[in-house]
Amino acid sequence: MRYDLNLLPIFAALMEERSVTRAAERVGMTQPALSNALARLRTMLQDQLFIRERYGLQPTPIALELAPVIAEALAKLDDAVLGQQDFDPASAERVLTIAPNGYVEFVLVPAIVARLQEVAPGIRLRLTPFGNDLAETGVVSGTTALVLGRIIDPPDNLVVQHVMDEGLACIVAAGHPDIGDSLTREQFERLKHVNVVPPGRMRAGLFQALSQQQLKRDVAISVTNFFAVAEMVAVTKYCATLPNLICRRLAHDPRLKVLPAPVDLGTFPVEMAWHVRYRHDPAHRWLRTLIGEVAAQLVAGS
């Protein structure tokens, strides 16, 4: 029997998204075109594959059985094809989708984009939300090239690489009436705090560090991103506990001052993960190397 290999990535997207609309967006097709492709898939594989239910498409037992086989086949095909391609970053034209968490988007992505503009102007990045579920990012299906952040319990089809370790410090308003050039444990616990939620799993790391040190934190307000913290702290008597590289950037703001945390809160890892199908993709390997170099320079203060 002859198989239309063009339909296999569509099957993978439907397995991941459980929605014709979202799967169409992910593979760059219109919804009617993807529905038509699904009809051809059903004919080719002689099964309904996906049943429409109240909360989206549900795969049939045959679809669940085929899913890992098709994912492995796509990975092997990518390895065979992409491994034969040459890659010249200076002349390459390509769009790569990455999913950074809030910390990485604030600290690393601008430096990555600046480096790409310098050495590979034809390589463009498309950012998609990191979220709390790796499947939502598209990296599990391979439609997203990379996730960057804290990788928790990755599935077997993801490769995880350590990028760097990051510590934590505190910021308060430069003219805070109660805080001088250091922050004691008692002061930390007496202050009101600004909390950042998400980025998801990294938040858990901070909460765990505080718990391990038995350090109390009175959260007055939670914001959704790091960009809001500076403004919030600058106009209040609040404190925020943030990663060192973010504090280093905020230290240039004359309204703020950065102080060491009153106790050692340890470090948290920053990692990147990608689908196994990208192992031998020359552009992907090159981007991973570039990200590692950019992170190392940032940590070193370059």
Cβ neighbors of 300 (< 8 A, separation 6 or more) are none
Could you tell me the pLDDT band of residue 82, with boundaries at 50, 70 and 90? low
Contact present, 270 and 295 (Cβ < 8 Å) = yes
Same domain, residue pair 145 and 188? no
pLDDT at residue 204, rounded to an integer: 58
CA atoms within 13 A on the CB side of 32: 0
Same domain, residue pair 251 and 276? no
Q: Is the predicted pLDDT of residue 80 greater than 80, yes or no?
A: no
Higher-scoring residue by pLDDT: 166, 94: 166
pLDDT at residue 221, rounded to an integer: 94
Q: Does the residue 257 lie in any domain?
A: yes
Higher-scoring residue by pLDDT: 299, 6: 299
Residue 237 belongs to a domain with what CATH number?
3.40.190.10
Domain final residue, candidates 34, 51, 82: 82
Q: Is the predicted pLDDT of residue 22 greater than 50, yes or no?
A: yes
The pLDDT > 70 percentage for the chain reads 93
Question: What is the three-class DSSP state of 28?
Answer: coil
Higher-scoring residue by pLDDT: 17, 233: 233
Same domain, residue pair 243 and 197? yes
pLDDT at residue 85, rounded to an integer: 58
Same domain, residue pair 160 and 275? yes
Q: Which domain holds residue 54?
A: 5-82
Torsion of CA 248, 249, 251, 256, to 10 degrees: -130
**How many domains, the chain?**
3
Q: Is the predicted pLDDT of residue 81 greater than 80, yes or no?
A: no
* Best mean pLDDT range from 126-130, 223-227, 280-284, 287-291: 287-291
pTM over 0.85: no
Q: Distance between CA 172 and CA 174 in Å, rounded?
A: 6
Could you tell me the pLDDT band of residue 36, with boundaries at 50, 70 and 90? very high
Q: Which range, of 61-70, 71-80, 169-178, 275-284, averages the lowest pLDDT?
A: 71-80
Could you tell me the pLDDT band of residue 118, with boundaries at 50, 70 and 90? very high
Q: Is the predicted pLDDT of residue 52 greater than 50, yes or no?
A: yes
Contact present, 239 and 104 (Cβ < 8 Å) = no
Give the model confidence (pLDDT) of 248-293 as tens digits: 999 999 999 999 999 999 998 999 999 887 877 888 989 999 999 9
Mean pLDDT of the 154-172 span: 92
Same domain, residue pair 157 and 276? yes
The size of the chain, in residues, is 302
Residue 10 belongs to a domain with what CATH number?
1.10.10.10
Could you tell me the pLDDT band of residue 200, with boundaries at 50, 70 and 90? very low
